[in-house]
């Protein structure tokens, strides 16, 4: 009888351990889900895009373009080829020489200082020529440096106080960022300088909150996501295939 009772106690103890370890692993799964979010805020009180801050982690940032305050002429549309809630497309008139129209801002919380390569996943949704309706303006107004690079040679936006400048459009510290080729659907590409394609880089020398600005240039240019990554840590393929979106914090 005594033996039976202690056996019962032991099995009760083992059963409680099992329950404890189960709930532990559930908690861990919750935490992992929170960490690897799908581009939406993990904190439910943080639901106004004007307050979003995208947190850099492991020298990498990935953001849904539509997770911003989109001026009315940047329309939110959906397709199977765009992630999250879809993509933003400029439906207003062209702004080929003048940046700043249809201004969109993203706040980036940079912990890992250094040089980041910029890429966006964008498409041509008007006409059937890959060299039209294929660009928007980009600026990092408070970054340490912002430049295009090709074979080790750097170019800087016009009116940035630095030279040389790109061929074709550039003004007030903005680069025209284009995709090229006659495949019109979404792809990862971001270049500047006409017929002399330079990759896009931004340098953050210190940790802090930085602003990224996009403004309208070509009608029908559609943007799904963008990434920033340090090339010392990722190849372009690794960066574009990385699925984890940046955690969204709030002001």
Q: Does 102 bind Ca ion (CB under 5 A)?
A: no
- Residue 43 C-beta: closest distance to Ca ion, Å: 20
Interface residue with Ca ion, options 59, 61, 84, 156 (CB under 5 A)? 84
How far apart CA 213 and CA 137 sit, in angstroms, is 8
**Least CB distance from residue 84 to Ca ion, whole Å?**
4
DSSP state of 245: P
Q: Residue 174: how many CB atoms within 10 A of its CB?
A: 27
Collapsing DSSP states into helix, strand and coil, what is residue 88?
A: strand
Residue 247 touches Ca ion, criterion: CB under 5 A = no
173 near Ca ion (CB under 5 A):
no
Cα–Cα distance for residue pair 247/128, rounded to 1 Å: 36
Residues in the chain: 251
Q: How far is the CB of 129 from Ca ion (least distance, A)?
A: 24
Q: Give the whole-angstrom CA distance, residue 245 versus residue 37.
A: 6
Position 109 contacts Ca ion (CB under 5 A)? no
80 CB neighbour count, 10 Å cutoff: 5
Q: Give the residue with the Cβ less far from Ca ion, 74 or 204.
A: 74
Q: Which residues within the stretch 212-231 sit at the binding site for Ca ion (CB under 5 A)?
A: 224
Rounded to whole angstroms, the Cα distance separating 49 from 110 reads 18
Site size for Ca ion, by CB under 5 A? 5
Site for Ca ion contains 64 (CB under 5 A): yes
Structure-block tokens of residue 112: 């890992």
- State which residue has the least CB distance to Ca ion: 84
| 89 lines the binding site for Ca ion (CB under 5 A) | no
Kindly state the smallest distance separating residue 139's Cβ from Ca ion, in Å: 21
Question: Using CB under 5 A, which of the segments 9-17, 76-84, 180-188, 194-202 binds Ca ion?
Answer: 76-84
Structure token pair of residue 68: 């911003």
**180 closest CA partner among 141, 222, 133:** 133
224/247 with CB nearer Ca ion:
224
Residue number, 215 or 225, with CB nearest to Ca ion: 225
Q: Confirm if 240 and 227 have CB atoms less than 8 A apart.
A: yes
Can you read off the two tokens belonging to residue 88? 């933003």
99 near Ca ion (CB under 5 A): no
Contact call for residues 103 and 213 (beta carbons, < 8 A):
yes
Stretch of 48-56, 57-65, 72-80, 125-133 contacting Ca ion, by CB under 5 A? 57-65
Give the bridge partners for 122, in sequence order.
Answer: 187, 223
Closest approach, Cβ 188 to Ca ion, in A, equals 13
Name the residues that contact Ca ion, by CB under 5 A: 64, 82-84, 224
């Amino acid at each position: 009888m005594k033996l039976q009772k202690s056996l019962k106690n032991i099995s009760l103890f083992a059963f409680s351990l099992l329950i404890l370890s189960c709930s532990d692993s559930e908690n861990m799964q919750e935490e992992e889900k929170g960490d690897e979010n799908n581009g939406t805020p993990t904190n439910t009180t943080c639901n106004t895009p004007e307050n979003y801050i995208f947190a850099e982690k492991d020298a990498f940032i990935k953001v849904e373009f539509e997770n911003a305050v989109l001026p009315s002429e940047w329309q939110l549309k959906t397709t199977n080829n765009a992630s999250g809630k879809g993509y933003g497309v400029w439906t207003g008139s062209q702004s080929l020489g003048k940046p700043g129209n249809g201004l969109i801002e993203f706040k980036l919380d940079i912990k890992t200082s250094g040089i980041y390569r910029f890429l966006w996943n964008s498409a041509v949704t008007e006409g059937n020529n890959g060299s039209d309706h294929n660009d928007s303006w980009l600026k990092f107004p408070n970054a340490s440096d912002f430049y295009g690079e090709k074979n080790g040679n750097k170019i800087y936006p016009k009116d940035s106080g630095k030279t040389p400048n790109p061929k074709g459009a550039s003004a007030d510290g903005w680069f025209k960022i284009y995709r090229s080729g006659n495949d019109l659907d979404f792809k990862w590409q971001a270049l500047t300088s006409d017929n002399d394609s330079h990759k896009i880089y931004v340098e953050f020398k210190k940790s802090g909150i930085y602003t990224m600005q996009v403004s309208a240039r070509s009608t029908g240019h559609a943007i799904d996501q963008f990434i920033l990554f340090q090339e010392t840590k990722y190849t372009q393929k690794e960066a574009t295939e990385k699925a984890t979106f940046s955690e969204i914090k709030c002001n």
